Structure 1
Amino acid sequence: MQNDVKLIDFLRDRHSTPVAQFKEPGPSREELEAILTLATRVPDHGKLAPWRVIVYRGDVRSTLGEQFLALSLKKTPEMTDAAREAELARFTRAPLVVAVVSTAAPHPKIPEWEQALSAGAVCFNMLMAANAHGYVANWRTEWIAYDDEALALLGVKPGEKIAGFIHIGSSDFATPDRPRPELSQIVTYAGE
């Protein structure tokens, strides 16, 4: 029963650390593979594995930042210095970023919606698996998840969608909890 109490405590206190508060180190290759193994143990009706992951670490993160800035400048040439820096740092704020890519597609028995939800479950499991390994994690999307040119740079194929970018690293920042919805505002008991 002790493990159940720890899991309950973890879920009660779960929160996301802001990516601006991330620092080195990130998970080793072995730790990352353990995190990814746990992350992909999700409900998956039909055993389709309607998702895949792309890991961005090392210099590729800076290269992508330069490419994101170039795309942004095409759309908004008068960007502020702070906005330019934000684009350059988009993937360097954390030691590594993992894209969870939804590959949901028409299927004779499994609705695409269920497949997309499975990709979302991978994102949440990855947050929990990273935390269980002693790291902080944050699930983000941002404009790059919805821009065709950015998606191509990221290695996302036509027809695929980003379920989330999971930023993983370390932090000593004491993240305050945010307000949570009151159950009375979001729960309906049928028949009562």
Structure 2
Amino acid sequence: MKEREEENFVTPGDILGKALELKPGYGAYFSSHDKTIYASLTGFRSITPAPIDSDDQRATVEVKGHKAHGPVPEPGVVVTARVTKVMAKMASADIVCVGPKSVKEKFTGIIRQQDVRATEIDKVEMHSSFRPGDIVKALVVSFLSLGDARAYYLSTAKNELGVVSAESAAGATMVPISWTEMQCPLTGQTEQRKVAKIDAV
């Protein structure tokens, strides 16, 4: 019989334990911000004691029994998201891809005013950076606990992050003309956005 100290059901963002006592295994990751280990998958929390001859005597905590639910956002990973709502201090979005893989579960992303760009943060206007329906590339910064909902703070502060696709009022896919503007090819109208820098081919 396999030795397991305890096992209980967890979802992404749940605390698995402190890094002083445990080290992360499969389905778990370490957050240097609060020295805590969190779940990155849905499944059962499982703790395996360290081998007697191991230098590191911390037990390994893992998430097991996870069924293939598709990729899950984790801090440090770039995701693609569709903006759903823009407010004065933040924008919310539905995460549609983690890296190149599309998600199968619903994950919400939140882009705060201070995470839109790296410079002149106090001058950022959310309505000039994003509009509902925009497709953005963003970096996952951290988990946000909203009860049962799974949400993530996202950042577009790097040059290569931001709006990658947007539709104009005329229904056309707009073309980026600078880091802060996109243009409708039908009407020539320009709209402000936090545009992702796309490398020239």
TM-score by length of 1: 0.25
TM-score by length of 2: 0.24
Structure with more contact order per residue of length (Cα contacts < 8 Å, sep ≥ 6): 1
The structure richer in strand per residue is 2
